[in-house]
């Protein structure tokens, strides 16, 4: 009798879940981006939202929630109802945030992975008037002028910040960190000569490099970027072993029904793996890289562990 009751309960639960999934989506879906408009994470969210609005039959709106070094937007996503009406655009800082700050959420417990979306490099760039035009010259200048070179970042714990902190740690140099609330404002200040150098995602700065408004010194990845094949990697340019790859992905609040996660995964992969989007993102320096929810979950857990060790070993602190 107990077995019959248990089986009936399980069938009822599965039926309820299936019925809910069939009724979904029942209202607009929001895609939370924890950074200001302008950077690739925002672009990714808008591309996905525009297409899913058509296929899912409900408006999908990108909601930029910058501030608090991405904590504000990340917390909003973690606390959202797990009803299939919220998605979150994550990037490398997502796997770092708990190693730098005390948060009310846990990135591996409070989120349901949907898919990895892409991989990119950071480009080390300088204002045209900056005296160094290579990594070697930058190191020489930094060692002659400790604390007199400033670098901007899109905020504490971002890939932009960590790229330079890893660089400083490996080269035993000191440059002053000036954090901003996103990539766009720091790029603006570098163009104006208010910032000396910075790392930033290739899509955010490659246009300025090509226009001669910035000079590129190196790329952060282990291999050169197809968008800047003449620019050496940091490792090639004089810092052996240096490597940092930027990733982008999509998650939902933990507890979102598996059927809905699966539908999101299917629809987003259709968008990202289309020839048009692969070519478009490739021109921006982002290689489309998709996955199953399970694969992305394993990837995030590995990244969290990797960066916790890097931050501890390098003594990186949030300013």
Does domain 121-219 fall into CATH 3.90.1150.10? no
pLDDT of residue 36: 85
Asked if omega into 162 is within 30° of 0 (cis), the reply is no
Closest alpha carbon to 40 in 172, 184, 219: 184
Pairwise CA distance, residues 87 & 15, whole Å: 24
| 121-219 matches 29-119+245-314 in CATH topology | yes
User: Are the beta carbons of 123 and 231 closer than 8 angstroms?
Assistant: yes
pLDDT of residue 13: 45
Pick the CATH number of 29-119+245-314 from 3.90.1150.200, 2.40.10.220, 3.40.190.150, 3.90.198.10: 3.40.190.150
Helix residue ranges, H only, the chain: 2-23, 40-56, 71-78, 97-100, 135-144, 159-171, 183-191, 202-210, 258-272, 275-283, 293-314
Partner residues linked to 247 by β-bridges: 119
pLDDT values of the chain reduced to their tens digit, one per residue, 319 residues? 545 544 554 454 444 455 555 699 999 999 999 988 877 899 999 999 999 999 999 999 999 999 888 899 999 999 999 999 999 999 998 999 999 999 999 999 999 999 999 999 999 999 999 999 999 999 999 999 999 999 999 888 888 999 999 999 899 999 999 998 888 899 999 999 999 999 998 878 989 999 999 999 999 999 999 889 999 999 999 999 999 999 999 999 999 999 999 999 999 999 999 999 999 999 888 999 999 999 999 999 999 998 898 888 877 877 6
Neighbours of 271 (CB within 10 A): 20
pLDDT of residue 182: 80
Reading the block at residue 166, the tokens are 């890893």
Pairwise CA distance, residues 281 & 272, whole Å: 9
Give me the residue spans of the domains in the chain: 29-119+245-314, 121-219
């Amino acid at each position: 009798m107990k077995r019959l009751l248990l089986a009936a309960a399980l069938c009822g639960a599965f039926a309820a879940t299936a019925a809910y999934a069939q009724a979904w989506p029942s209202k607009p879906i929001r895609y939370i981006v924890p950074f200001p408009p302008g950077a690739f994470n925002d672009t990714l969210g808008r591309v996905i939202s525009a297409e899913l609005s058509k296929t899912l039959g409900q408006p999908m709106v990108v909601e930029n929630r910058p501030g608090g070094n991405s904590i504000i937007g990340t917390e909003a996503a973690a606390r959202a109802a797990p009803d299939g009406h919220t998605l979150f655009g994550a990037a490398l800082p997502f796997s770092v945030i708990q190693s730098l700050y005390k948060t009310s959420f846990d990135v591996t417990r409070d989120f349901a992975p949907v898919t990895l979306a892409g991989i990119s490099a950071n480009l080390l760039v300088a204002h045209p008037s900056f005296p160094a035009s290579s990594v070697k010259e930058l190191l020489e200048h930094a060692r002659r002028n400790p604390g007199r070179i400033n670098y901007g970042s899109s905020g504490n714990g971002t890939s932009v910040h960590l790229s330079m902190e890893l660089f400083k740690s490996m080269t035993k140099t000191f440059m002053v960190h000036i954090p901003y609330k996103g990539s766009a404002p720091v790029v603006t200040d570098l163009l104006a000569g208010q910032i000396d150098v910075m790392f930033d995602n290739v899509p955010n700065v490659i246009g300025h490099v090509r226009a001669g408004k910035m000079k590129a010194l190196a790329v952060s990845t282990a291999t050169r970027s197809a968008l800047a094949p003449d620019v050496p990697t940091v490792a090639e340019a004089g810092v052996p072993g240096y490597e940092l790859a930027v990733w982008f992905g999509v998650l939902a609040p933990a507890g979102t029904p598996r059927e809905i996660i699966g539908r999101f995964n299917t629809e987003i992969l259709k968008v990202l793996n289309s020839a048009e989007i692969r070519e478009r993102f490739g021109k921006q320096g982002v290689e489309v890289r998709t996955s199953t929810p399970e694969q992305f979950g394993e990837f995030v857990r590995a990244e969290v562990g990797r960066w916790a060790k890097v931050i501890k070993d390098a003594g990186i602190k949030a300013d």
